[in-house]
Structure 1
Amino acid sequence: MTEEDRNTVLPSKNTDTVLYTTWRDNREGESLSMAVIRAVAAVDNSDPLEMEPIYAYIDPDALDTIFQNYDGNNIVEFEYIKYKIKIFNGKRIDISPLSGANN
């Protein structure tokens, strides 16, 4: 996966209100929590340093370690700012608007 591919946030073709899907390549050394922050910043057109900290919503250390030694099908869902984040196997990140959120 190239640097450009990793940093691309693509409109999702999923019709279940998923706004964007992006992929994290953990071989590049990016933590999962940083991948989520990067993706939400891209979707929200925000500076990651000016967004609410992710730790106000989920423990970033726990998020970073939950997929480290697990090879099965695992999904983690949580809310961050005004989005629902759904992570599949520590790689695919789907971002959807929260119900009633002002986007």
Structure 2
Amino acid sequence: MTGIDVVTDGDDQCRTVVGESEAVSEAVVRLVATVDETDPLELPPLARVLDPDAVDAVFEPAPGRAGTASRTLTFSYAGYTVTVDGTESEQVCLIRES
């Protein structure tokens, strides 16, 4: 785990900012593992839900352009609805599915 903060927005919601040298896909797994108080290796592979490399590519800044385009991706993973929201920095939000 990295030392990046997890903020709780209620009983069923939390969020974190993607670390400077962290891939978006890694931040998703890190946040779910932190919230579930489990080892990231105990979670189902993210690749069962979507291609982690494709997720990371969506949030990579385009060469020669500032990262000002708004991008949002929402999917289900490990009992959570995950939303990745990004403009200049990416934020990962989780909502526990019922």
Q: TM-score, normalised by structure 2?
A: 0.82
- Cα-Cα RMSD: 1.8
Contact 1:18 1:94 in 2 (8 A): no
Structure 1 gap segments, 5+ residues each:
none
> Which residue in the other structure is 1:23 paired with?
17
Q: 1:40 aligns with which of 15, 25, 32?
A: 32
Q: CA deviation at 1:86?
A: 0.3
> Which residue in the other structure is 1:96 paired with?
95
Structure 2 gap segments, 5+ residues each:
none
Q: 1:11 aligns with which of 8, 16, 20?
A: 8
> Which residue in the other structure is 1:71 paired with?
68
User: Percentage identity across aligned positions?
Assistant: 28
Q: CA deviation at 1:94?
A: 0.6
Higher normalized helix content (fraction of residues): 1
User: Which ranges of 4 or more aligned residues in structure 1 deviate by more than 2 Å?
Assistant: none
